[in-house]
Structure 1
Amino acid sequence: MQQKNDGLKKEVGTFAALATVMGTVIGGGVFFKVASVVSATQSAGLTLLVWLLGGFLTICAGLTSAELAAAIPVTGGAIKYIEYTYGKLPAYLFGWAQTLIYFPANIAALSIVFGSQVVSLMHLSNAAALPVAILAGLSITLINFLGAKAAGRLQSWALIFKLIPIVIIVLVGLFAPTSVTLSLLPSHSAHASLFSAFASGLLATMFAYDGWLGVGAIAGEMKHPEKDLPRAIGWGLAFITITYTLINLVFLKTLPISQLAGNLNAASESAIKLLGVMGGKLVTIGILISVYGAINGYSMTGMRVPLAMAEENSLPFSGFIRKVSNRTAAPYGAGILQFAIALLMMVLGNFDLLTDMIVFVMWIFSLLIFIAVFILRKREPNLMRPYRVPGYPVIPVIAIIGGIFILITTIVTQFTLAMIGLAATLLGIPVYYLTKKYYRN
């Protein structure tokens, strides 16, 4: 198969690629996943260990998937890698899972934590959290209906603000005196086995590291992908891993484990304790802007997946889903579909439930991508590869083992959730054939 380059200009250098990696991965999860991680581990040492290991697995995963990104630098990213290796149906299922689960669940989960943070900041009734969450998701959708330029401006400002609360909390927290007894030796609750605590904690961290799958999509626009891509992914994800570990160390230094476990307001409460009420509130506002920007990022990217599928008549009601505004060129049909699914998830789900489902479903396809590196090395040894994963086959094998571990852990600890995610994904098979038959006829 002849490679395409889609007319891409090779203008992206090392720094721009590094910024893309960090901007893609850093979202709202770092502020809110401490609650479920500590609930699982009940230990400062084990909490820090799973954050470090989660980062290591993410680095291996990013370096592995980047080989396909460099070898197949076409518009569409991961969907195209799967289609190139396995064919149309698996690629369709990936797009289907993104449309039905990944993007709406991200929007719903982040909207839920946005609502909970607003309620905490303004001392509102807990009953107001859901309406605020819905309003956040709806307002972002409407902003995106104004066009890509408006959504892009919001994203640019949010990228700046998302780093401010992290830097402040880490710099102040590391040197602040603490009254909390902190043991860095990995231990676990007497109510759970060490393996169970470790596995559940690791699974919980993976949402915060989500986004690495898209970092290789810029390979076709890089000046020197063979050098810059591994640098951007390796250094970018390593920096994120260190940052995530440090900010969780600050949380553990600032609040006792009993106040961190299950507490979605842990980040804002830590900021208030470190900086006082006014300083803490300012940091919380920074966190809210970061989360709002993350919702915008998923909304802006997400609505273009069903749009692309509908343009090929691959979805039911494709005629409506592919509708685009004549004035703003915004894909409002796909946007309405995306928000409708997210709204249902907001009403029925909660933050941890939705994020764990996202991790499970996406790692199914991530595994296919890791395995595709081996398949294409054997099937097409002469395929032009500007970048090859370093340490082959060790790093791809680590990524595969990590992916299998995450999937098995989810099935064992949250069987019903895993089956719902799997069933929703496999529902795409009859939809694929029925839709194909309908439009052919």
Structure 2
Amino acid sequence: MSDQPKSFRRSFGLLDATMIVAGSMIGSGIFLVSADITRNVGGAGWLILIWVITGLLTLTAAMSYGELSAMFPHAGGQYVYLKEAFNRLTGFLFGWSFFTVIQAGSIAAVGVAFAKFSAYIFPILSEKNILFDLDFIQVSAAQLTSILLIVLLTFINTLGVKEGKWIQTGFTLAKIAALLALILFGVFAADKAIWDANWQTGFSFGKMEGASLLPYVGLAALGAIAGSMVGSLFSSDSWNNVTFIAGEIKNPQRNIGRSLFLGTLIVTVIYVATNLVYIGILPLNDIAYAENDRVGVAAAVKIFGTKGTYIIAALLMISTFGCNNGLILSGARVCYTMANDGVFFRSLGQLNKNAVPARALWIQCVWASVLCLSGKYGQLLDYVIFVVLIFYILTIAGIFRLRRTRPELPRPYKAFGYPFLPLLYIVSAGIICISLLVYKPLYTWPGLCIVLLGIPVYYLMKKGDDRKPSPLHEPNLTTYDL
């Protein structure tokens, strides 16, 4: 054990960190969720506005996180910020939710999406191809493919940060280039008649029922907007993954904040532009009722003809492959940091000879694979969007708390627009949370139950760990204090 590294190697530059942000955000959502949004809001203007609001909220949160990442440039990211701003229990509840559902569920969902779109090119990988039919579970080719993908990427990331970095940077650059090409070809394929017809709806707001638009009554409109944003927020989520690998980024005090801004800005522009392309080539009804919600496939067929299905499938394979690599690479760092804090399995707080948390990577792999087999990852992700927003609100509120309680800490980067923009995010996200709580209870109470289950787990873990915390992992004590 003596030859194992005691700390991470700083291998990620600004480009690599930016690609972690963008690559973790861009998966399959941009090709799917616009259908559900359109059904909920009914107008072309509202479809674009939902994506713009989502982008602005994401940018605001990302720029606010820049201050926290500069203050605490350690592995663990949001877990560390919550622990330092509030207490260890608050940090643990985020880490518990992150490990059990948010990250593992995202890895499983993206893995299965990779397999589903691969089946366009290789039909044998279809989810309809049942390989094993046991009494209590069925295992499809898509599930097995997703598990093999997760195992492969986990293994590659155990070899060292350099291997994972190459995959992440290369695949993210490739999918950004492919998306830009899709947008460019979409502009040339746009039909003015379709564009004009779609914009006749303007900012008409209501629920689409076939060709009819049913207006919402009273505050139900808030519930519709909040429900619409579930998909767009998830499609824009995981931007904070770069904070989890802060211990491996060069000049983290500067590069994390810059990468958060650049990565979220790139993705926001691409998402809005992609939806403008959808409006330019597909009638609004075709967007709302695309087969299996696959708006991207319908658009690609309009742009490229019959080959469009294979083109978009190849793009989605690249996109989901790179996205899952980013999720796998970054997620294990939270388990590692929690283990070193004495609130998670002790053995996960070790680095292998390649200076990566291999055991944390493998336990993440096992749990994500179980979720792939269960088929419940999508439902779990629906449950936690409310919780994700709550933790974002708490983290940004931590900026205000830390400025008051720990003004002596160095702040080489400060939250842009403080206090107005961070406060605007808290208020806006709070309104969305309240709306979901009232109008979409399925998205709220199950997620809260998952979080609350973490409380007894926290005290069991803490009781079972007899180590004296090291100074670095004491609450509210950072390397700047040493």
- TM-score for the superposition, normalised by structure 2: 0.78
User: Which runs of 5 or more structure 2 residues have no equivalent in the other structure?
Assistant: 1-6, 131-139, 208-212, 468-482
- Which whole-Å CA distance do the structure 2 matches of 1:294 and 1:375 have between them? 33
Aligned to 1:116: 116
1:162-197 CA deviation, whole Å, 9 max, x = no partner? 213311221011221426332161222244524333
Aligned to 1:278: 307
Aligned to 2:78: 78
1:386-425 CA deviation, whole Å, 9 max, x = no partner? 1112322110111101221232233234313422211111
Asked if 2 retains the 8 angstrom alpha-carbon contact of 1:273 and 1:280, the reply is: no
- Which whole-Å CA distance do the structure 2 matches of 1:134 and 1:7 have between them? 32
1:172 aligns with 2:185: yes
In structure 1, what residue type is equivalent to 2:96?
Answer: W
1:45 aligns with 2:45: yes
Q: 1:206 aligns with which of 216, 233, 238?
A: 233
Q: 1:182 aligns with which of 191, 198, 203?
A: 198
User: Which runs of 5 or more structure 1 residues have no equivalent in the other structure?
Assistant: 1-5
Q: 2:151 aligns with which of 141, 144, 152?
A: 141
1:270-321 CA deviation, whole Å, 9 max, x = no partner? 11220122354133212112112212221232234334434555336x55x6
Aligned to 2:27: 27
Aligned to 2:274: 247
- Which whole-Å CA distance do the structure 1 matches of 2:239 and 2:364 have between them? 25
Once the 2 structures are TM-superposed, how far is the Cα of residue 73 of structure 1 from its aligned partner?
2.1
- Which whole-Å CA distance do the structure 2 matches of 1:410 and 1:236 have between them? 28
Once the 2 structures are TM-superposed, how far is the Cα of residue 89 of structure 1 from its aligned partner?
1.0
1:205-233 CA deviation, whole Å, 9 max, x = no partner? 1012112324456778565956x766554
- Which whole-Å CA distance do the structure 2 matches of 1:215 and 1:68 have between them? 13
Once the 2 structures are TM-superposed, how far is the Cα of residue 20 of structure 1 from its aligned partner?
4.7
Asked if 2 retains the 8 angstrom alpha-carbon contact of 1:27 and 1:290, the reply is: yes
1:340 aligns with 2:367: yes
Q: 1:421 aligns with which of 431, 444, 447?
A: 447
Aligned to 2:471: none
Q: 1:409 aligns with which of 431, 435, 441?
A: 435
Residues 152 and 136 of structure 1: is their aligned pair in 2 closer, same or farther, counting only changes over 3 Å? farther
Count the aligned residue pairs. Answer: 431
Asked if 1 retains the 8 angstrom alpha-carbon contact of 2:27 and 2:235, the reply is: yes
Residues 381 and 394 of structure 1: is their aligned pair in 2 closer, same or farther, counting only changes over 3 Å? same
Residues 111 and 24 of structure 1: is their aligned pair in 2 closer, same or farther, counting only changes over 3 Å? closer
1:132-159 CA deviation, whole Å, 9 max, x = no partner? 1442233322442252445444334322
Residues 358 and 292 of structure 1: is their aligned pair in 2 closer, same or farther, counting only changes over 3 Å? farther
Once the 2 structures are TM-superposed, how far is the Cα of residue 51 of structure 1 from its aligned partner?
0.1
Once the 2 structures are TM-superposed, how far is the Cα of residue 256 of structure 1 from its aligned partner?
2.9
What SS class does the counterpart of residue 127 from structure 1 fall into?
Answer: coil
In structure 1, what residue type is equivalent to 2:202?
Answer: L
Residues 61 and 345 of structure 1: is their aligned pair in 2 closer, same or farther, counting only changes over 3 Å? same
Percent of aligned pairs with the same amino acid: 27
Asked if 2 retains the 8 angstrom alpha-carbon contact of 1:173 and 1:274, the reply is: yes
Q: 1:196 aligns with which of 206, 223, 236?
A: 223
Once the 2 structures are TM-superposed, how far is the Cα of residue 50 of structure 1 from its aligned partner?
0.3
Aligned to 1:395: 421
- Which whole-Å CA distance do the structure 2 matches of 1:234 and 1:309 have between them? 27
- Which whole-Å CA distance do the structure 2 matches of 1:345 and 1:7 have between them? 30
Asked if 2 retains the 8 angstrom alpha-carbon contact of 1:71 and 1:383, the reply is: yes
Asked if 1 retains the 8 angstrom alpha-carbon contact of 2:302 and 2:308, the reply is: no
Residues 250 and 33 of structure 1: is their aligned pair in 2 closer, same or farther, counting only changes over 3 Å? same
- Which whole-Å CA distance do the structure 2 matches of 1:327 and 1:373 have between them? 34
Asked if 1 retains the 8 angstrom alpha-carbon contact of 2:396 and 2:426, the reply is: yes
Segment of structure 1 superposing worse, 362-371 or 249-258:
249-258
Asked if 2 retains the 8 angstrom alpha-carbon contact of 1:165 and 1:283, the reply is: no
In structure 2, what residue type is equivalent to 1:257?
Answer: L
Aligned to 1:295: 324
Q: 1:159 aligns with which of 143, 163, 172?
A: 172
Asked if 1 retains the 8 angstrom alpha-carbon contact of 2:70 and 2:412, the reply is: yes
Asked if 1 retains the 8 angstrom alpha-carbon contact of 2:40 and 2:228, the reply is: yes
Residues 303 and 333 of structure 1: is their aligned pair in 2 closer, same or farther, counting only changes over 3 Å? closer
Asked if 2 retains the 8 angstrom alpha-carbon contact of 1:204 and 1:356, the reply is: no
Asked if 1 retains the 8 angstrom alpha-carbon contact of 2:69 and 2:256, the reply is: no
Aligned to 1:267: 296
- Which whole-Å CA distance do the structure 1 matches of 2:243 and 2:76 have between them? 11
What SS class does the counterpart of residue 50 from structure 2 fall into?
Answer: helix
Once the 2 structures are TM-superposed, how far is the Cα of residue 34 of structure 1 from its aligned partner?
1.9
Segment of structure 1 superposing worse, 145-154 or 169-178:
145-154
- Which whole-Å CA distance do the structure 2 matches of 1:350 and 1:99 have between them? 13
Aligned to 2:464: 438
1:314 aligns with 2:343: yes
- Which whole-Å CA distance do the structure 2 matches of 1:165 and 1:126 have between them? 26
- TM-score for the superposition, normalised by structure 1: 0.85
- Which whole-Å CA distance do the structure 2 matches of 1:213 and 1:337 have between them? 18
- Which whole-Å CA distance do the structure 1 matches of 2:361 and 2:456 have between them? 21
